[in-house]
Amino acid sequence: MNAYLRIAPGLMLLCLFACSADPGQPANGAVGAHVWFASSTGIELTEAWVYDTWGPDAGPPSSGTACSTLDRAAMSSDQLAALAQLVLIPLADSCSVDGYDYHQLTVMDGDGGPVSYRDTGCNFLRVEGATAMLPPGAFTANLFPLTTSISCPQ
């Protein structure tokens, strides 16, 4: 819901909360909202995983992160198109019992600070305060390759 402070008849001055750049679009971070805009300048994409092992001869758990940082100017037209089509979906509140694997997308924007989204709705893995999530499988390795050889942002 958008709220406005009315100064004079017919004059809308200030959007107070839950506003989106386009009145026809859902508020930023809501189900159905886009995550990539004309003002977006780049992304940080991180995959994080932890898998537990079971049994008396099981080795240590497998865990790690892989990431990539891309500026808009360095992205391919396919990458830009994929980001432009990406919309948030309802949270799927499911957590696995033996580990996890999720992607976090942080979008840098010229009109504001960075905003992060994850493709998990698991209550202890989702971005704090999230009301929607990225669709699982949105970041394929051939379109958005990640590397474990660099230090990933936390």
* pLDDT of 63: 86
Q: Which two tokens stand for residue 57?
A: 């001869």
* pLDDT of 26: 72
* pLDDT of 18: 36
Confidence class for position 95, pLDDT limits 50, 70, 90: confident
- Phi first, then psi, for residue 29 (nearest 5°) are 90, -5
C-alpha–C-alpha distance, residues 75 and 83, integer Å:
10
* pLDDT of 17: 31
Give the angle 114-117-121 at the CA atoms, nearest 5°.
155
**Unique residue bearing structure tokens 């999530």:** 133
* pLDDT of 16: 28
Distances (CA, A) of 32 to 16, 95, 126, 142: 21, 23, 17, 25
Q: Which two tokens stand for residue 48?
A: 């994080």
Higher pLDDT, residue 111 or 90: 90
Q: Which two tokens stand for residue 128?
A: 């704090």
Return left, alpha or beta for 85; rule: phi > 0 is left, psi -120 to 50 is alpha, else beta. alpha
Question: With a threshold of 0.85, does the pTM exceed it?
Answer: no
Domain ranges of the chain: 30-133
Confidence class for position 6, pLDDT limits 50, 70, 90: very low
